Amino acid sequence: MSKKLLLVLLLIVSVVGFVFAQDATEEPMMEMACPEGEATVTVAAGAVGIELELAQEAAQRYMEMCPNITVEVLETPDLATDRLGLYLQFLEAESPDVDVYQIDVIWPGILAEHMIDLTPYVSEEVLASHFPAIVQNNTVDGQLVGIPWFTDAGLLYYRSDLLEKYSLEVPTTWDELEAAAQAIQDGERAEGNEEFWGFVWQGNAYEGLTCDALEWQVSHGGGTIVSPEGEIQVNNPEFVAALERAAGWVGTISPEGVTGYGEEDARAVFQAGNAAFMRNWPYAYSLGNAEDSVIAGNIGVSPLPGTENGPNAATLGGWQLSVSRYSESPDAAASVALFLASAPEQKIRAIEASYNPTIMSLYEDPEVLEAVPFFGSLFDVFTSAVARPSTVTAERYNDVSVLYFTAVHSVLTGEQDAQTAVEDLEIDLLDLLGEGFTVPGE
């Protein structure tokens, strides 16, 4: 063999080696050893959209890999607040009936005491492949209480065909959104669709409203609910203006019934072709473009609007998988949780149902980007999303959120004016949180 040929061969071998090594560090391959013995692992999972079906398919794949383990998927309520209530019933009773819980990004502080530390089960390589901020969010007193499964951020959905029909641009401010929503609503109704609305969102009194209202608050320059330093920032003119604006949507560009809407209610109206704009999470994209959707191919996705006082804001959401302390098969449960959250499984969920991976390298995966182009174009929205104050308020976060969404809801329904609502909310939050928490100017 000539020296030249040998050099070329060597080069090829090292390039191929390098490429494989890259792949291995970016997306750790599954080296899953099946747990020993027989066990049944019950996973409490969401059923929003096609979530349940996806979890069942994944459970099937796990059982094919490890036939000694039976994985059962338990359906849980759609509204996050109701789901937490159900989980607490199981956990406070120390029930072994559920092994793995799908937990919200805001719940590690609330549920940590009931969950095992997953650190011994996760390799450093796998842990390093997830967004560090989520891993940190899920780490309570040094214990990893949940492996990240998918992340979420609030988005603005619009009907691209209707914007074109009415010669409108994608709105970047709330004023523009209101004007466009009204114009399209007037036009579509004049053409005979009496059920058409400008803008649908989550207005029911539950966790989803906390997410929507936090986006209004931040984008109006009204601070945040509670800052990471413990400052309660709800009593200010900008947040009052944001709430007055949202209350003004009810019955004008949004249906009266929006004050009872969760994610799926908003999606039902939008996907039936009866709304111009929708605030929702990424999962709505795949479903809206599915074969049975009348608006398939006519959906645009952009960042939510802002104002001259504040930048656009998306609330950070997302879900983790945790293993209960009361599980009778914690090893098998951890194995199932890690499998579900693994790169190949996150990739399937991203492609089939637009669930945002928590594994960073999947945002560069061509198949993922082809299925959900905005995972690339709106990457910044996902990485700069605004967190709810669940770290600083820890186990009291749910009480904080209940006070917040109840106050917001009372303004939306006209029970209270915005000014009174934020003043009372400030007092209630200070009462609840007490020492270590402040209000501006103190």
Nearer to ligand GLC, 201 or 281 (CB): 281
Neighbours of 170 (CB within 10 A): 17
CA 286, 290, 293, 296 dihedral sign is positive
Nearer to ligand GLC, 196 or 201 (CB): 201
Binding site for ligand GLC (CB under 6 A): 80, 104-106, 152, 207-208, 211, 263, 281, 317-319
- Distance in Å, CB of 207 to ligand GLC, minimum: 4
- Distance in Å, CB of 439 to ligand GLC, minimum: 26
Q: Which residues of 358-389 are buried (b: 16+ CB within 10 A; e: fewer)?
A: bbbbbbebeebbebbebbeebeebbeebbbbb
- Distance in Å, CB of 282 to ligand GLC, minimum: 9
Alpha-carbon distance of 386 to 317, in angstroms, equals 9
144 in Cβ contact with 431 (< 8 Å): no
Instruction: Name which of 168, 249, 159 is nearest 212 in CA terms.
Output: 249
Coil vs helix vs strand at 151: strand
- Distance in Å, CB of 152 to ligand GLC, minimum: 3
Nearer to ligand GLC, 244 or 399 (CB): 399
Residue whose beta carbon is closest to ligand GLC: 317
430 in Cβ contact with 242 (< 8 Å): no
Nearer to ligand GLC, 224 or 329 (CB): 224
- Distance in Å, CB of 428 to ligand GLC, minimum: 21
Phi, psi angles (nearest 5°) of residue 264? -70, -30
Nearer to ligand GLC, 271 or 358 (CB): 358
Nearer to ligand GLC, 39 or 304 (CB): 304
List Cβ neighbours of 128 (8 Å cut-off, separation of 6 or more): none
Nearer to ligand GLC, 80 or 407 (CB): 80
198 in Cβ contact with 277 (< 8 Å): yes
- Distance in Å, CB of 21 to ligand GLC, minimum: 34
- Distance in Å, CB of 155 to ligand GLC, minimum: 12
